[in-house]
Structure 1
Amino acid sequence: MKGSAAYAFFVGLSFLMARPFSAQAAEITGKTGKETKKNGGLSFSANTKDPIFITSDHMEADRKKNTLIYKGRVVTVQGEMTMNSETLTAYYDPEMKQLRQVIAEGKVNVTQGDRVALGAKAVFNQKDQTLILTGNPVVRQGNSQISGSRITFYIEQDRAVAEGGDQRVKATIFPEEFKGKEKGEAGPEKRR
């Protein structure tokens, strides 16, 4: 693998894994358009200084297509965060030496402590600073969980939107699990 391709991928992926995937002050929007704020701290974070380790059965770098593709039991680890998927494809801008997009597909599972995010596909967009989880996505912490047809994390805005689609957004929050985790954090609004 050429140095600049590896550099662009690892710098970009380290940025992806280092930013908080947070739903601390999430806006949860279902089919009805109703909103619930402060969902109770279903969040992910990593340290940007931690190295990233990627293992897979196969890796292919294509300089003409500006891609790096990892296939087969892909495991990405940074600090206490681990992401598993069947494939991981990174698209990068060779002139800017910057990552454009990362797509993880097939049984995507991101874990950190007691926090877990599951889905069939995760798409990180560098420009928009979004992470979109689809394919029956579920985000869990302890017994609390949120699910929908699509969950979008707006990384720089520290918010998330869960969309319903054919089914409505489902949220189960156990406030006791989040007591003392965030100073000044309000609990979820009452269900109607």
Structure 2
Amino acid sequence: MTETSKERIFVDQANPQRWLLVADNLHVQATEGWNRFGGGRIAMVDGQARLVGEWDDVNRTVFLLCGFALENVLKAYLVFENPNWISNGKLARELRSHHLGQLAQRSALVPSSAGSPEILERFEAGLESWARYPCGLSVFDTEPEGVLSANDWHAYAALMRLYGQRLCELLSEKLWKGPHGFEGRWTFDGEFLGAAVRFQ
């Protein structure tokens, strides 16, 4: 297989519609987890039998899935706007980040709503720390586990619907030209990121 054909296959895997599909899959799993909230609790008690912390048993899972869903949809926008960021068989440096706020700022097309920077910051906080690992690299960057509130969830879900609606519209509007001869235009009929869409 030639290098060019390998690079072209990589574009098939890294185009903006693929990032959307992964974001949607993660969002569906996060929604399933959220629907299980209230089913079990985890409590941390110290040596003197004092309650140190208490969380829903799916708190960490849902928080992490939400964060990764946001990351993938933001990268879908960035790849849509910057096709060269998936050229030559690798992701550009600008895509190798878990910093949701920075990813959103790099895009001219990501829709914004009241509170969206705060929502992104909230979920970004767990991606490189407590939601993903039991501890940080040291005591100085180890954060306590955050608690996902109903307000957090509803703000996240509303933002994802906004992102999904606009991204499906963009991907269906006209032919997207990617690197290595890739061209694509997609149609949508159903629910993506919680948004009911029909773009033919």
> Considering the TM-score relative to the shorter chain, is it more than 0.5?
no
Q: Which has the higher strand share?
A: 1
Which of structures 1 and 2 has the bigger CA Rg? Answer: 2
- TM-score tier (shorter): 0.3 to 0.5
